[in-house]
Structure 1
């Protein structure tokens, strides 16, 4: 798995894999590594091992609608890929993302992951462990404990 830069909402990955993405300028299909997280983010990477995404889309806030398969009438898929593998997503701000899976089964999995990421409620933020505490947090906790002790006396 790639070493990903994750936010607190991107802890659980729903789908990660290679998919064709159509470039907006020349309409050329390019293979990209994409990650859909339960937090609602869709991240596009140039390589599988990239640590920073090229683009990130927030599916919960920005996704207006999406089409799949035969509904994508203006798209032509890459060579030797059926039109049933097409996915077209429309975002706020007149942004559009055109994707094409390698086969019908993976297209169904991508669509399932996108709909789950869009509709699912955000997970509660996990409590930090002692290893992740900063010095400021430790000092705050110590001062709170001292205040409690003083109040008891």
Structure 2
């Protein structure tokens, strides 16, 4: 692994940890994190790799943002998640941004399935006693469903991709 790859992975890991922390605590990923992260990714790639690196970083931001923008428009995630993926893509590039988006959506589906299973009669009573910090409790949520921070899915997806060495 080159020194530049270590820089990009370290930046992406820090971005992920900070976003997980803020999203889990407040259901928010602030612009004060995403905007400087995206700009610094663009600048770093531009300085280290010239116009070609800047172009790849910009493409990474666009490809990171695109699939999440669709989920945002469907009201499945918040705007901070979209901006976070743009910043992640600016650091990690198109392929890794899309890869993380796919894995994060799969992890989010797993969390949603778990929440549905916990509504089963045998599990309902025990699960109902657990406090839910992100709005309506999943057992009380009606048509809109229960909400959870998307970073609950992104964090483990990022860890799995790091552990697997990315596809």
TM over 0.5: no
Could you tell me the TM-score, scaled by structure 1's length?
Answer: 0.29
